[in-house]
Structures are given as C-alpha cells and as structure tokens.
Amino acid sequence: MPGQNINKPTPINQEVVWDKTKTIISKTDKFGNITDVNQTFVDVCGYTANELIGKPHNIIRHPDMPKIIFKITWDNILAGRNFHAIIKNLSKSGKYYWVITDFEVGRNIMNEVVSITARRRAIPDYVVTDHIEPLYQTLLKLEKIGDMPLSNRYFKGFLEKQGKSYIEYVMSILEGTSAANPSDMQFDPIGGTNTTDEISDDIFSEEHPSENTNITQRKSFFAKLFSTN
Ligand SMILES: Cc1cc2nc3c(=O)[nH]c(=O)nc-3n(C[C@H](O)[C@H](O)[C@H](O)COP(=O)(O)O)c2cc1C
C-alpha cells in the first residue's frame, strides 16, 4: 500500500528555510495520491520524488492542522470547485512550513474530477501569528473535546460573524484588511453557544451566496498571488 512504509517524523518547532519566491507544486489523483511534484516541493519537504509519488498527500500532514480545514477542502474539490486554503506542512526533518494553497480541479471529458493540482506560495509571518495560528489552535482544541462537529460549529460562527466565506477571510487577512481575531469570539463548547448548526456549509465554499467579493475579483486576487515562478 502506498504511504505505509514512511515513518512520520516527530515535529520540531522550527521553520524550514526555503526560497519563498518559489511555488511548491504537486498533482494528485482524485483520491489525493501524489502523481507528480516539482523540484521546489522536493526541496522544501525533504522527501525525494520517488518517496512521494504514489503516496497519499497526508505524508506531509502536520498534527497542528485541524481536521475541519481538510474536510472543507475535500468537500469543495469533490464538488468540482477550485479552492484555496492556508496549510501548515510537516517536512521530513520534522520542521514546518506554512503556505497558501491553490487547488485546481482537473476533469475528464465526462466532466468528472480526475486530478487535482495544488500550487503553494509562502505567506507573510503576521498572517500566521496574528490570525491563522490562533484560529487553527482553537479549532484543534475543540476537535480534541468534541471532534469536527464542535470545530465546525465554532468555525461557521466565526465566519458568519464577519459575513465572510473561508476564502474571503483568507483574502482579507492576506490583504491586511481583516479586523477580526479568533480571540474576539466568545464560544462555550458545552452549551449556550452563540452559534447554531443552522448556518449553511456554503460558508466554507467558494460559492458562499452572500459573498460581497465577486468571482472575478477573487480570481484576479489569487492569479496575482500565484503569478510568479
Ligand atoms: C492536490 C492536493 C494537495 C494536497 N496538499 C496537502 C498538503 O500540502 N498538506 C496536507 O497536509 N494535506 C494536503 N492535502 C490533503 C490530504 O489529501 C489530506 O486530506 C490531509 O493531509 C489530511 O489527512 P488525513 O485525513 O489523513 O488526516 C492535499 C490534497 C490534494 C488533493
């Protein structure tokens, strides 16, 4: 079985030093098994192309990542929607690297999803320290208490409070226009929460119905972000 012969490294709290002008690229089949990687992917994660090809993409999953982020990523991909997510990855050395990932779905002539290409760019430190890390730490903590139903409920409430989809939230923090911080959000995991399960899952998708940002704006934002190398 692909992926079973790789021992997961023990994470160490050190960032991988890499050329942050580059784009890290991988391609998978529709199950997330790696079919291709570029040299930058190999350089940054520390595995050889041979070690990577045929393995599930969770080979570089970092234990600090909440499950809900991968769930919403896969929900969008399998619905045939391109997606963007901020991800902390684990290199072979145990060091980490943060990236914004652009997921692009490839289809066959029957319009079925057959492949996914992921392009990753570095993100500014403040995006991680001021916004994403506190948010993901909260989601992870909630998953330890009540698994994804709990992190899902908190996350929906967090986004709903700002009137943003996940993608819009990511754009706003990358543009430096988000005032919201996870510590602003009151949440009681046991009961009496200020969020309900009634918020639609669309809040996680690129097609959030109440989006203020139009699709053209969003496409040009990410096209610019991924335009070099
Ligand atoms: C094209 C593509 C690229 C992916 N890139 C990453 C990645 O860089 N890091 C990561 O942890 N998961 C990535 N994933 C998601 C993994 O498939 C997987 O869902 C995730 O690592 C969680 O693994 P787990 O469900 O075994 O915990 C990617 C998936 C696809 C389809």
Ligand 1 geometric centre to CA of 32 (Å): 7
Reported confidence tier of residue 219, pLDDT bands at 50, 70, 90: confident
Name the closest-CA residue to atom 6, ligand 1. Answer: 57
- Which of these, 87, 25, 85, 71, lies nearest to 206 by C-alpha position? 85
User: What is the pLDDT, as a whole number, of residue 192?
Assistant: 43
Q: CA dihedral in degrees (12, 35, 31, 136; nearest 10)?
A: 30
* Distance in angstroms (rounded) separating the CA atoms of residues 162 and 155: 11
* Among 57, 65, 98, residue to substitute to test ligand 1 (most atoms within 8 Å of Cβ): 57
Q: Is the pLDDT of residue 225 over 50?
A: yes
User: What is the pLDDT, as a whole number, of residue 160?
Assistant: 94
Residues above pLDDT 90, as percent of the chain = 72
User: What is the pLDDT, as a whole number, of residue 42?
Assistant: 98
Q: Is the pLDDT of residue 63 over 70?
A: yes
Q: Is 61 in the pocket of ligand 1 (CB under 6 A)?
A: yes
Ligand 1 geometric centre to CA of 192 (Å): 34
Reported confidence tier of residue 210, pLDDT bands at 50, 70, 90: low
Query: For the residues 172-180, what does the mean pLDDT come to?
Result: 81
Ligand 1 geometric centre to CA of 21 (Å): 22
Q: Is the pLDDT of residue 87 over 90?
A: yes
Q: Is the pLDDT of residue 208 over 70?
A: no
Q: Is 26 in the pocket of ligand 1 (CB under 6 A)?
A: yes
Distances (CA, A) of 219 to 39, 162, 171, 213, 222: 26, 21, 11, 10, 5
Ligand 1 geometric centre to CA of 191 (Å): 32
Reported confidence tier of residue 217, pLDDT bands at 50, 70, 90: confident
For ligand 1, what atom is nearest to the CA of residue 99? 8
Q: Strand, coil or helix: what is 99?
A: strand
- Packing angle, helices 166-175 and 215-225, rounded to 10: 50
Ligand 1 geometric centre to CA of 33 (Å): 9
Identify the residue with better confidence: 125 or 219.
125
Query: For the residues 111-126, what does the mean pLDDT come to?
Result: 96
User: What is the pLDDT, as a whole number, of residue 68?
Assistant: 97
For ligand 1, what atom is nearest to the CA of residue 32? 31
Query: For the residues 118-138, what does the mean pLDDT come to?
Result: 97
Identify the residue with better confidence: 218 or 61.
61
Q: For residue range 3-24, what is the model confidence (pLDDT) as tens digits?
A: 455 789 999 999 999 999 999 9
